[in-house]
């Protein structure tokens, strides 16, 4: 019986993973356990091309907790921007170089290695860049948003 239940749970999990990415984790207050292989990566319209996002908990546009992973390629730049809510960044792998200010300045960043944490207060302008592929985890409470200091940096307006 136990084997059957395990097989059923696996099949159910696989089905939802394929059909609706992370939907099983959304809008519920259930126990969630997610491994790196369970993540479904998608493009991020609000970030410069090349980044991928995996939503673990959300959705981000509602007034509820969210947890997402962002994967940045090597030599990636995020222009100065802010968010309406507090941002918690945890570096999972690689190195995320991050700083605060109104313009991306690689000399004004701190190299956050895997295991590092940054907490950015609402409406504080900040920026980041990578030298190699880097994965960070963001968590906070939505509704989320990204406002670029220079509107022409916003890929949604291109
Ligand atoms: Cu940010």
Indicate whether 138 pLDDT > 50.
yes
Ligand 1 centroid to residue 13 C-alpha, Å: 31
**Gap from CA of 23 to ligand 1 centroid (Å):** 24
Tokens of 135: 């994965």
Q: Find, among 18, 2, 158, 151, the residue nearest to 79 by Cα.
A: 151
- Alpha carbon of 101 to ligand 1 centroid (Å): 12
Average pLDDT of span 82-99: 98
pLDDT value at residue 46: 96
Identify which of 19, 18, 40, 16 has the alpha carbon closest to the alpha carbon of residue 28: 16
The answer, yes or no, to whether residue 17 has pLDDT greater than 60, is no
Å from CA of 61 to ligand 1 middle: 15
State pLDDT tens for residues 102-118.
Answer: 999 999 999 999 999 99
Query: Hey, which residues does 97 pair with through a beta bridge?
Result: 111, 129
What's the 97 CA to ligand 1 centre distance in angstroms? 12
Q: What is residue 14's predicted lDDT score, i.e. its pLDDT?
A: 40
Q: What's the confidence (pLDDT) of residue 105?
A: 97
DSSP 16-83: HHHHSTTGGGSS--S-----GGG---EE-TTS-TT-EEEEEE--TTSSSEEEEEEEE-TT-EEEEEE-
Read off the pLDDT of each residue in 3-31 and give the average, rounded to a whole number: 48
Question: What tokens were used for 143?
Answer: 């509704």
User: Confidence band (pLDDT; 50, 70, 90) for 30?
Assistant: confident
The mean of the pLDDT values for the chain is 87
pLDDT at 29 (0 to 100): 67
Measured distance CA(112)–CA(138) in Å, rounded: 14
Identify the residue with better confidence: 66 or 157.
Answer: 66
Do 80 and 103 form a contact (C-beta atoms < 8 A)?
yes
For residue 13, the model assigns a pLDDT of 42
pLDDT band at 25 (very low <50, low <70, confident <90, very high): very low
| Among 49, 50, 54, 89, CA closest to 73 | 50
**What distance in angstroms lies between residue 72's CA and the mean position of ligand 1's atoms?**
13
Q: Give the pLDDT score at 104.
A: 98
Q: Is the pLDDT of residue 22 over 70?
A: no
- Calculate how far, in angstroms, residue 126's C-alpha sits from the geometric centre of ligand 1: 6
Find the 110 Cα to ligand 1 centroid distance in Å: 14
Give the integer Cα–Cα distance in Å for 110 and 100. Answer: 10
Report how far ligand 1's centroid is from the alpha carbon of 24 (Å).
26
């Amino acid at each position: 019986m136990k084997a059957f239940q395990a097989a059923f749970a696996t099949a159910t999990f696989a089905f939802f993973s394929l059909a609706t990415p992370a939907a099983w984790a959304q809008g519920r207050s259930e126990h969630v356990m997610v491994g790196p292989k369970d993540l479904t990566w998608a493009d991020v319209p609000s970030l410069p091309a090349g980044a991928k996002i995996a939503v673990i908990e959300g959705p981000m546009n509602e007034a509820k907790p969210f947890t997402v992973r962002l994967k940045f390629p090597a030599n990636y730049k995020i222009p100065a921007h802010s968010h309406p809510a507090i941002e918690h960044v945890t570096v999972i792998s690689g190195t995320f170089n991050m700083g605060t200010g109104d313009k991306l300045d690689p000399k004004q960043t701190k190299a956050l290695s895997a295991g590092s944490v940054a907490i950015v207060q609402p409406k504080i302008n900040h920026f980041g860049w990578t030298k190699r592929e880097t994965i960070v985890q963001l968590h906070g409470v939505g509704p989320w948003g990204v406002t670029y200091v220079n509107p022409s940096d916003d890929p949604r307006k291109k």
